Structures are given as structure tokens and as C-alpha cells.
Amino acid sequence: MLGTIPFLFSASLLLFTATAAVAQTGLPIPRFVSVRAAEANLRTGPGVRYPIAWVYLKRGLPMEIIAEFDTWRMVRDHEGEEGWLHQSLLSGKRTVLITAEIASLRRRPDETAPVVARAQEGVIADIDGCQGAWCEIEAGGFTGWVPRRTLWGVYPGETLD
């Protein structure tokens, strides 16, 4: 019985520490950010001593922060992979990833509006704002509206200005 008390105390102290780190930034969890670096090592834990699970080579790739610990952010990518990135590898700039095979960028947020350009699955775009079921994005020098359902990096119902 005595052997379990230090373990329970250690576990509750760790939980308290992780919760306090989340509160330090004052930013909401979860939230979307993007990869700042040209190369970002996703680690299995919050520190350089943890093994690298993935290496991201796409600057601007959207990531979802799902937890924080000190200067480390637990993130989730568009495929559901989770791990830890140092905060210096991330940017608050919002981007989205095209998830549809082809997304038509339209002049207005309307299915009948003229098509300005088309973007393939996997294209990373800057997001300018969202209205209802539509988001305005910029990719490859083209700006247009696409259905929110064709994007990863923005929450359902989230309004962006």
C-alpha cells in the first residue's frame, strides 16, 4: 500500500504541472497553427531526448495544438498523427490544407459563382476568412471561396475575419 502512495502523488503532480502549463499561455486548446520551419521534428514526448516520430518538410502545414507543456506543443496533423513540436517550430499564422481531390476556388461563396482556379488535394493555402459553409483562401497567387468541408485547418462553425 505504501508503495502506491508516492506513485499516485507523482502522477497527480505531473497532471497538475501539465494543467498549469496550458493555463500559462492563455490561448485556447485545441487551436490551429502552422509549421514555421522548413523541417520540423515531431517527437514522441516534450523534449529533445524523446525519439523523432516524423519529420515534416512542408512550411505552412496546418497543425492542431491539443496540449501544451512548457515550450512544447502536442499537435495533431491532418492524418491524425500526434506528437510534440517545440513552439519555435510553429507559427500562429493560419493555413489550411485542401482535402478534396479538386477544390474549385470561386469568385463568391456560392456554388454557381465563376471558378477562379482549382487546387488539388494536399495544397496548402492561406485562409482569409470564413462565412458559414464557405472559406476564402489564397493559394498559388489565386484568391477564392471554397466549401469549408474541403479544408483541414478550420473548425466547423469557426468564424475568421
By DSSP bridging, strand 124-131 and strand 72-76 are unpaired
User: How far is residue 77's CA from residue 81's CA, in Å, rounded to a whole number?
Assistant: 5
Q: What is the CATH number of the domain that holds 12?
A: 2.30.30.40
Q: Which residues form the domain of 38?
A: 4-92
Inter-residue contact 52 to 41 (CB < 8 Å): yes
Are residues 34 and 63 located together in one domain of the fold?
Answer: yes
Mean pLDDT rounded to a whole number for the chain: 88
- Mean pLDDT score, 10-34: 61
Instruction: Work out the angle at residue 122's Cα, subtended by the Cα atoms of residues 147 and 118, and round it to the nearest 5 degrees.
Output: 50
User: How far is residue 61's CA from residue 93's CA, in Å, rounded to a whole number?
Assistant: 10
Inter-residue contact 71 to 87 (CB < 8 Å): yes
pLDDT tens for 68-113 read 999 999 999 999 999 999 999 999 999 999 999 999 999 999 999 9
Indicate the Cα dihedral angle 30, 35, 41, 42, nearest 10°: 20
Inter-residue contact 128 to 105 (CB < 8 Å): no
Whether 22 has a pLDDT exceeding 60, the answer reads: no
The number of folded domains in the chain is 2
Report yes or no on 70 lying in a domain. yes
Report yes or no on 159 lying in a domain. no
98 has which bridge partners? 151
pLDDT (0 to 100) of residue 36:
98
